[in-house]
Amino acid sequence: MIVALHGAEFFAYHGFYPEEQHTGNCFIVDIEVEFEPDGSNGLSSDNLKDTVNYEELYHICGRRMQQPQKLIETVATFIMEDIKAQYSFAEKITVSIKKLNPLAGAKVKYTQITINYTR
């Protein structure tokens, strides 16, 4: 099973250059968490504790996006580590972050990094 959060938008102050850290930018985060439901009751329990809560994924992103970093690779790694800590049963996690309009004076729609974890 995969629970995903796609297109979560945040305004944050990540960036290597001081002007990026001062003016901020728009970021888009995508997350996919793959896991096998518990064999004893699967998801027939209809209980949120037996799955990945996409609302919590959003809150994890929000907390990390508000902590400025120079590299979005670092932000993605922290998000992934928080997801692993919250959902120890996760078998695969993919976190992608897009930075919109990343280069002043250049015509670039976005840059993107993607990190993967497999247990």
Q: 99 catalytic, yes or no?
A: yes
Q: How far apart are CA 115 and CA 93, in angstroms?
A: 8
Cβ contact 61:10 at 8 Å: yes
Q: How far apart are CA 13 and CA 109, in angstroms?
A: 18
> Of the listed 49, 70, 92, 99, which one is catalytic?
99
Q: Active-site residue numbers?
A: 99
